């Protein structure tokens, strides 16, 4: 389990939603399904259909912030293994994967509180498990309209082998593929560099009350040209453009965390963050 209460100065979901005007959207994700792909198991994330959900981290996060909870007549949260079953992988000790999964799920829910969420846990951090298997599983879940990939690695000429994985299957709802641009500055990495994926970078936000104040690019967010993919002549962010030859990216909030994923001012992390 993570922190029972947020640290001092943490941003709440309501503050983030207000700052970016997300609270003005009437649908709040209703009718959409977000698939999140990570590696290894987070045992504190439990499907909303399970009796154990009532004591899970996700339920506690929702209760603390007054968010619509999963289950009942509300949206659903489902945790699957990379093949779409419930034979979950092992938890990897000494890594940030479990924390990353909780952050991804809880803050995707905070931004789109009425959307269904499916977490797909790959058996390892290999591209074979993460992309060839887990992403393929996500693409074949009915109703999935977004696939979020919280991982990145330096790109190479071999990465194009995996690009066909980022395509909407015939007859399926259109899917948007999103991936973290990285946490280590330039250059970014794959799959964010794929021309079939929206690369998500990070900024640091300052609020004025509960309203948007200012923000600046986060130095750890990956950028610059890719090793094997050529980009357009400018990169478009949420609050500006830069003509440095980067491939197009989407600048969204990174929600910093302690163990239980509360947002702090002055730090940055992508909505689909890398490990």
Domain residue ranges in the chain: 13-251
Q: What is the pLDDT of residue 261?
A: 37
- Lowest average pLDDT, out of 32-46, 73-87, 111-125, 160-174, goes to 160-174
- Lowest average pLDDT, out of 76-90, 114-128, 238-252, goes to 238-252
Q: Which residues pair with 198 in a beta bridge?
A: 178
The percentage of residues in the chain with a pLDDT greater than 90, rounded to a whole number, is 48
Alpha-carbon distance of 222 to 212, in angstroms, equals: 24
Alpha carbon separation from 48 to 35, 58, 84, 94, 98 (Å, rounded) = 15, 9, 16, 27, 18
Alpha-carbon distance of 274 to 261, in angstroms, equals: 14
pLDDT, tens digit, 9 for 90 and up, residues 78-107: 999 999 999 999 998 877 899 999 999 999
pLDDT, tens digit, 9 for 90 and up, residues 180-217: 887 776 666 888 888 899 988 888 888 888 889 988 87
CB-based contacts of 210, cutoff 8 Å, min separation 6: 14, 15, 18, 19
Q: What is the pLDDT of residue 238?
A: 38
Is residue 260 predicted with pLDDT exceeding 90? no
The residue ranking higher by pLDDT, 271 or 30, is 30
Residue with tokens 């970078």: 201
Sort strands 144-149 and 176-180 into parallel, antiparallel or unpaired: parallel
Q: What is the pLDDT of residue 93?
A: 80
Task: Average the pLDDT over 8-36 and give the result.
Answer: 90
Architecture in CATH of 13-251: 3-Layer(aba) Sandwich (3.40)
Structural tokens at position 230: 């050529």
Q: What is the pLDDT of residue 211?
A: 85
The answer to whether 95 and 101 have CB atoms below 8 angstroms apart is no
- Lowest average pLDDT, out of 14-28, 154-168, 241-255, goes to 241-255
């Amino acid at each position: 389990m993570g922190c029972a209460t947020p640290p001092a100065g943490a941003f709440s979901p309501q503050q983030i939603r207000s700052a970016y005007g997300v609270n003005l959207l009437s649908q709040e994700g209703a009718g959409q399904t977000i698939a999140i792909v990570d590696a290894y198991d987070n045992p504190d994330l439990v499907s909303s259909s399970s009796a154990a959900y009532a004591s899970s981290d996700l339920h506690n996060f929702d209760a603390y912030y007054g968010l619509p909870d999963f289950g009942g007549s509300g949206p659903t949260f489902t945790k699957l293994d990379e093949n779409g079953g419930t034979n979950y992988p092992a938890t990897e000790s000494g890594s940030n994967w479990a924390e990353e999964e909780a952050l991804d799920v809880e803050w995707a829910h905070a931004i789109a509180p009425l959307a269904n969420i499916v977490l797909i846990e790959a058996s390892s951090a290999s591209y074979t498990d993460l992309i060839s298997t887990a992403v393929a599983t996500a693409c074949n879940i009915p109703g999935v309209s977004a696939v979020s990939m919280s991982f990145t690695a330096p790109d190479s000429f071999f990465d194009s082998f995996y690009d066909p994985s980022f395509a909407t299957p015939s007859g399926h709802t259109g899917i948007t593929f999103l991936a973290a641009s990285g946490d280590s500055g330039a250059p970014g990495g794959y799959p964010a560099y794929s021309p079939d994926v929206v690369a998500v970078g990070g900024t640091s936000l300052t609020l004025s009350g509960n309203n948007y104040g200012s923000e600046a690019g986060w130095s750890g967010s990956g950028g610059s040209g890719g090793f094997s993919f050529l980009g357009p002549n400018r990169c478009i962010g949420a609050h500006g453009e830069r003509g440095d030859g980067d491939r197009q990216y989407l600048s969204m909030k990174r929600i910093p965390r302690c163990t239980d994923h509360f947002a702090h001012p002055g730090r940055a992390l992508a909505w689909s963050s890398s490990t």
